[in-house]
Amino acid sequence: MSRTVELFDGTAWTPVCDQADLVPGRGVAVLTAGGEQVAVFLDRAGGLHALDNRDPFSGAYVISRGILGSRGDAPTVASPMYKQVFDLRDGRCLDEETAPDGTPAVLRVWPVRGTAAEAPRPAPRPAPAQPSQPAGA
Amino acid sequence: MTPMPRPQTSQPVKDLVVVGHGMVGQRFLEALAEQPGAAGWRVTVLAEEPRPAYDRVHLTSWFSGADERELSLTPPGFLAEHGIDLRLGDPAVAIDRAARTVTTASGRTVPYDALVLATGSYPFVPPVPGHDAAGCHVYRTIEDLEAIRADAERSRTGVVVGGGLLGLEAAGALGALGLETHVVEFAPRLMAIQVDEGGGRLLKRKIEDLGVHVHTGAGTQALLVGEDGRVRSMRLSDGRELPADLVVFSAGVRPRDQLARESGLPVGERGGIVVDERCRTADPDVYAVGECALAADGRVYGLVAPGYAMAETAARALAGGYRDEHAFTGADTSTKLKLLGVDVASFGDAHGAAEGALDVLYSDSRSGVYRKLVIGRSGQLLGGVLVGDTESYGLLRPLALAGRPLETAPEQLVLPAGLGPAGPVALPDDAVVCSCHNVSKGAIRAAVRDEGRHTVPEVKKCTKAGTGCGSCVKTLTTIVSEELAAGGVSVARGLCEHFEHTRAELYEIVRVTGITSFSALVDGHGRGEGCDVCKPAVASILAGLAGGHILDGEQAALQDTNDHFLANIQRNGSYSVVPRIPGGEITPAGLITIGEIARDFGLYTKITGGQRIDLFGARVDQLPQIWRRLVDAGFESGHAYGKSLRTVKSCVGETWCRYGVQDSVGLAIELELRYRGLRSPHKLKSAVSGCARECAEAQGKDFGVIATSSGWNLHIGGNGGTTPRHADLLAADLDRETLIRTIDRFLMFYIRTADRLERTSSWLERIEGGLDHVRAVVMDDSLGICAELDALMERHVGAYQDEWAAVLDDPALLRRFASFVNAPGTPDPAVTFVPERGQVRPARPGEDGRPLTPALVAGPRLEVRTA
């Protein structure tokens, strides 16, 4: 059954796309109602991750275009700009502690989950899914 | 406040009092604990601050969330284990040397048999009017930072007095706190102690680029205070007035020698407790270490590494482990740091003070790199200054300290290409690699060779090298690898932590096993999830061997962003598009079409170095629309994004040129179309010149062809870029068919055997047998693989499809070209542009840029804002 990807934007779980829109190992950019940009990723095992889309090293909104991978036990994404690697679990940069502007090189982590959509898939907007569904279910 | 029980000892116990628990005080306690004779001392520490020693070097990280625990330098349990009685918040206020007691602020009297003064220094505040008004700060302790942060909340503008190392740190902190920040430096340049004039100029520019206002050659005349008693503005010596809600003084430090002075100990003319080579004062029972001391070489050191060295000397002297070699007679004041994101380093005799010293200088203000080496009379490296790129610091500093004549021409060491990963510089064994802990190259080698430490973390733990400021870790890593290799221990040559194989080995695995996916390869022959190093490399191998569109199925997840979007990412996240213009030949209609597309999408256009037209400023969601227009007009992808064939440049050839002897344009077009889309370890460039005048610069290419009156000469292994190399002549006077067959085989042989990102030039120099071997393989089939190489190239040529057109024909792929998955029609608001020279460029931070849309800038004329 297909899944709907939902992002918690601070107030509510909002459907952002169908899981089929995501290529395993890659991301997409999401625009929240509040105008923030979030990078949402699907890993090879089907797990979802969501981080700020802004790369603190270049200032460009490109994290969603990075390559997923791992460093040791940490699942990672590499910024496509200057290749700094971030931990998908806590958003920390594993290569440098601070960005060029002196701020900590940490991406905000957004709650994200995949919920089973009612079959057949509703269109164009998926119906609200059960909020109790745990992430990665 | 009862001392913890001490280890059993038979020696008579004597009292040791340490005044000050800063970085050096703590280092002293650790060094003492390491001495066998430490058990003879009962240690009491009198500290002024309310918390144990913490890392002042990284104080600024407190602003970005580091807490006291992270900054702490006192290992948990350390004090208890060694029975040290630390009395926080109770500073010493008087010493009675006759009675051998110290009195504290709370009125206690502590007797001593030996006394160590580690009182550090205090920030110098120039006595200008208003210096003590509310809003004025120094930058020394966590309490100072707390006060600055509290004041910053009600401030808009901050001024830092002093453009030294700490001043720039403070400026960075004020900037991060959201203040408009000024730095006022009395000297004519920033970091006057470490950096020379040229380096200072570049540093100033780089820091101004970050939004900090820098005023050099300016003194502080007065602070003007408002009615509320808070600082309001600052008047400079040149009469200017800067608004200032908050002021941080960072105009240098002075030794805290008052206690010693008052107890009658000799101090230097400009301060500092006079000590000898054992760090002992004029009173044999009293020692002084760190920034409060005037060392035996007549200097007061304001850096932590010399302070640590003094702490070790004093600890040995007190515990009976002192020998002549432990004497403190001076220290290395080299520094390497990242200030506001700008790399700065200076080492040795950075200002060329030695008699007869000569400079070798490289300065590129365009890319923000400045390097100066100071060379002595007999060719030895004395010191240097590096700004913007301090990559080579780890290697140059120990070389300068060792004082040996250079084996490499110094020009080579400052030029961008001079220092490769390993570098051409050989360090002598006695060169001090880690100056924080005084570890020589020989000691590192011994740890690898004799003590069986085979990894960098093991060597760090065993020798302490690389555990101080960390600037030597890169050099340390190189030494460990070299030593391991010399000892016959295999060094990981693999692509990355996920594959132990080289690219060439992975190529063979894929070729022999017929694996067609990354998952199968990493699960069967690697580990983990891969990374941005191995994934694109495997993608390239699969593209060559397994075929298919590079964005098909799982392959899409492997591509670097450029390949993923079939365009080149630019600094603001927009992309550039380069249509293929084979051989640089283009019709007027083609030119007009490209011009119309650029105009309609408001793209910036530029002729590239490879005879093509680059169109900049496209958003992800605009790419398919742009390709549609280009493909409809007969253009195709130029693969400017891929590690693949880029261009085959040409001169005009015999058709028009009065000197040309062959049709260089025709051949260039044929070669470009034959090899277009060919995935390779590194991008490939080529050229064809119609005569020996070489107008197409074929000898600067991976493969270059030069016409002769009797055929074609083929050159291979050339490149431009940072380490230019002229190509070597592989074969002469070839007919067209033989020429193409030879290039086919050369390219396939290179693709099969080269390392990741290895250019043909370095491949040719690395491969055993060099040019002769390559010639034997591709012309005489010495390995018997030519039929296979030919077949691979035939398959490539036959299977070529334009990647742009393939995306346009595939609705599933097309859907990926949206700025936002949940708002496909919304352009990315973060991608904004401003006009420049009649076109557009990405907006810089703080500039009021506008999103680039066809509607905004469409039309034959672009409104250009002036002023």
B728-734 and B711-716 as β-strands: parallel, antiparallel, unpaired? antiparallel
Q: How far is A123 from chain B (nearest CA, A)?
A: 13
Q: How far is A59 from A67, CA to CA, in rounded Å? A: 18
Q: Between B535, B571, B572, which is nearest A67 by CB? A: B535
Q: What is the CA radius of gyration of chain A?
A: 15
Using a CB–CB cutoff of 8 Å, tell me whether A128 touches chain B. Answer: no
- Whole-number pLDDT of residue B386: 87
The arithmetic mean of pLDDT across residues B216-224, rounded, is 92
- In angstroms, the CA B32 to CA B41 distance is 9
The interface residues of chain B toward chain A in range 791-830, judged by CB-CB distance below 8 A, are 815-816, 818-823, 826, 828-830
- The upper half-sphere exposure of residue B434, i.e. CA atoms within 13 Å in the direction of its Cβ, equals 24
A59 touches chain B (CB under 8 A): yes
For residue B615, which of B839, B788, B454 has the smallest C-alpha distance?
A: B839
3-class secondary-structure state, position A17: strand
- The Cα B4–Cα B9 span in angstroms is 15
Question: Is B506:B538 a contact under the CB 8 Å cutoff?
Answer: yes
Q: For an interface test with A, which of B149, B168, B531 has the most A Cβ atoms less than 10 Å from its Cβ?
A: B531
What phi and psi values does residue B576 have, to the nearest 5 degrees?
-115, 150
Q: How many residues does chain A have?
A: 137
Do B830 and A98 count as a contact with CB atoms less than 8 A apart?
Answer: no
User: Among the listed ranges B269-283, B695-709, B838-852, which one has the minimum average pLDDT value?
Assistant: B838-852
Q: What would the mean pLDDT of B230-258 be, rounded to a whole number?
A: 93
Closest B-chain CA to A59? B572
Hey, which of B9-13, B78-82, B115-119, B317-321 has the most confident mean pLDDT?
A: B115-119
Are A16 and B821 inside 8 Å of each other by CB? yes
Q: What is the mean pLDDT of residues B537-554?
A: 86
Q: Looking up tokens 């004082």, which residue turns up? A: B403
Convert B274-303 into a string of H (helix), E (strand) and C (coil).
ECCCCCECCCCCEEECHHHEECCCCCCCCC
Q: What average pLDDT does this structure show over B532-544?
A: 92
- Which B positions 211-250 lie with beta carbon below 8 A of chain A? none
Q: Summarize pLDDT for B618-627 with one digit per residue, the tens.
A: 999 999 999 9
B535·A69 Cβ contact <8 A: yes
Hey, what are B622's tokens? 């605009």
Q: Indicate the DSSP class of residue B719.
A: B
Give me the tens of pLDDT residue by residue for chain A, a chain 137 residues long.
578 999 998 888 999 999 988 999 999 999 998 889 999 999 988 899 999 999 999 999 999 999 999 998 999 999 999 889 999 999 999 988 888 888 899 999 999 999 885 544 444 444 443 333 333 33
pLDDT at A117: 57
pLDDT tens digits, residue range B731-785? 999 999 999 999 999 999 999 999 888 899 989 988 888 899 999 999 999 999 9
> Using CB atoms, which residue from B532, B556, B571 is nearest to A69?
B532
| pLDDT at residue B229 is higher than 60 | yes
Instruction: Tell me the two tokens of residue B532.
Output: 């941005």
B497 Cα distance to chain centroid: 21
Residues 19-78 of B with CB under 8 A from A: 60-61, 63-65
Using a CB-CB distance cutoff of 8 angstroms, which residues of chain A are in contact with residue B823?
31
B822/A59 touch (CB, cutoff 8 Å), yes or no = no
Segment among A39-53, B14-28, B487-501, B681-695 with least mean pLDDT: B487-501
Encode pLDDT of B45-104 as tens digits. 999 999 999 988 778 878 877 777 788 888 888 999 899 999 999 999 999 999 999 999
Report pLDDT for B851: 66
Nearest Cα residue to B456 out of B437, B430, B484, B429: B484
Beta bridge partners of B346: B335, B385
| Mean pLDDT within B547-552 | 82
What share of chain B has pLDDT > 90, as a percent? 55
Q: Is the pLDDT of residue B310 over 50?
A: yes
> For the residues B641-662, what does the mean pLDDT come to?
94
| A25/B173 CB distance under 8 A | no
- The DSSP 8-state label assigned to residue B72 in this structure reads B
ipTM above 0.90, yes or no: no
Tell which A residues from 22 to 51 touch B, by Cβ distance under 8 Å.
23-26, 28-31, 35, 37, 40, 43-44
Task: Give a three-class secondary structure readout of B543-598.
Answer: HHHCCCCCCCHHHHHCCCHHHHHCCEECCCCCEEECECCHHHCCCHHHHHHHHHHH
Q: What is the mean pLDDT of residues B665-688?
A: 96
Nearest to B531 among A37, A76, A99 (CB): A76
Q: Which two tokens stand for residue B51?
A: 């918390």
> What is the crossing angle of helices B786-799 and B770-780, to 10°?
80
**DSSP string of B452-473, one letter each residue:** ---SHHHHHHHH-TTSSS-TTH
Which B residues in the span 387-426 are in contact with A, Cβ-Cβ below 8 Å? none
Option in A31, A72, A85 nearest B822 (CB): A31
SS3 B354: coil
Q: What is the mean pLDDT of chain B?
A: 87
- Are the C-beta atoms of residues B617 and B840 closer than 8 Å to each other? yes
The per-residue pLDDT for range B422-433, each reduced to its tens digit, is 343 577 788 888
CB pair distance less than 8 Å for A60 and B820? no
Is residue B861 scored above 60 in pLDDT?
A: no
- Report chain A residues whose CB lies below 8 A from the CB of B498: 69-70
Q: Give residue B860's pLDDT band: very low, low, confident or very high (50, 70, 90).
A: very low
How far B20 CA lies from chain A's nearest CA (Å)? 30
Three-class SS string for B654-704?
A: CCCCCCCCCCHHHHHHHHHHHHCCCECCCCEEEEEECCCCCCCCHHHCCEE
Residue A80 with chain B: CB contacts under 8 Å: 560-561, 569
The nearest CA of chain B is from the CA of A6 a distance in Å of: 11
Residue A29 in contact with residue A64, Cβ under 8 Å? yes
Q: Distance from B673 to chain A by nearest Cα, in Å?
A: 29
Tokens of A95: 């290569």
Query: Do strands B832-836 and B728-734 pair parallel, antiparallel, or not at all (unpaired)?
Result: unpaired
The answer, for B179 touching chain A at a CB cutoff of 8 Å, is no
Q: Which of B149, B152, B164, B25 is nearest to B86 (CA)?
A: B25
DSSP state, A20? G
* Cβ B191 vs Cβ B168: under 8 Å: yes
Whole-Å CA distances, B616 to B79, B509, B567: 62, 39, 10
* pLDDT reported for residue B10: 52
DSSP conformation class of B644: B
Q: Identify the sign of the CA torsion B292, B298, B303, B304.
A: negative
pTM of the model: 0.55
CA distance to B279, B328, B462, B619, B853, per residue, from B325 (Å): 14, 9, 21, 65, 71
Whether B554 and A25 lie within 8 Å, measured CB to CB: yes
d(CA B536, CA A78): 12
- Whether A112 has its CB under 8 Å from any CB of chain B: the answer is no
Over residues B414-423, mean pLDDT = 53
CA neighbor of B817 nearest in space, from B628, B604, B607, B584: B628
Would the CB atoms of A26 and B341 count as touching at under 8 Å? Answer: no
User: Of A95, B568, B686, nearest to B559 (Cα)?
Assistant: B568
Single out the residue of B333, B325, B342 nearest to residue B397, CA to CA.
Answer: B333
CA distance B114 to chain A (A): 42
Q: Is B652 left (phi over 0), alpha (psi -120 to 50) or beta?
A: alpha
CA distance linking residue B448 with residue A33, whole number of Å: 57
Q: pLDDT band for position B863 (50/70/90)?
A: very low
B206, B212, B532: best mutation site toward chain A, by most A Cβ within 10 Å? B532
B641 has pLDDT over 60: yes
- Sorted by sequence, the CB contacts under 8 Å of residue B280 that are 6+ apart come out as B286, B287, B314, B317
* pLDDT at site B464: 81
A81 touches chain B (CB under 8 A): yes
The residues, ordered by sequence, that sit 6+ positions from B656 with a Cβ below 8 Å of its Cβ are: none
User: Could you tell me which of B209, B120, B203, B220 has the C-alpha nearest to residue B160?
Assistant: B220
Residues 6+ apart with CB under 8 A from B543: B550, B555, B679
Closest Cα partner for B427 from B448, B398, B403? B398
In chain B, residues with a C-beta closer than 8 Å to the C-beta of A103 are 64, 176
Contacts of B843 in chain A (CB under 8 A): none
CA distance A26 to A41: 6
Q: Which of B172, B173, B819 sits opposite A29 (nearest CB)?
A: B819
Cα–Cα distance, B471 to B828 (Å, whole number): 39
For the stretch B3-25, pLDDT in tens is 444 444 455 589 999 999 999 99
Closest CB from B340, B535, B822 relative to A16: B822
Q: What is the mean predicted confidence (pLDDT) over B847-857?
A: 57
- Inter-chain CB proximity A70 and B564 less than 8 Å: no
Which helix (H) or strand (E) segment holds residue B343: the answer is strand B342-348
A-B contacts at Cβ under 8 angstroms: 132
CB within 8 Å: A70 and B528: yes
The span from the CA of B478 to the CA of B465, in Å, is: 13
- For residue B449, pLDDT beyond 60: yes
Asked if residue B467 has pLDDT above 90, the reply is no
Question: Taking CB atoms and an 8 Å cutoff, what residues of chain B touch A28?
Answer: 816, 818, 820-821
Check B535 against A29: CB less than 8 A apart.
no
pLDDT of B455 strictly over 90: no
Residue B55: other Cβ atoms inside 10 A: 16
The torsion defined by the Cα of B773, B777, B781 and B785, in degrees rounded to 10, comes to 140
pLDDT one-digit tens code per residue, B570-605: 999 999 999 999 999 999 999 999 999 999 999 999
Asked if residue B417 has pLDDT above 60, the reply is: no
| pLDDT of the residue at B148 | 94
Contact B578, B672 (CB under 8 A): no
Q: Whole-angstrom Cα distance, residue B498 to residue B492?
A: 11
pLDDT at residue number A55: 95
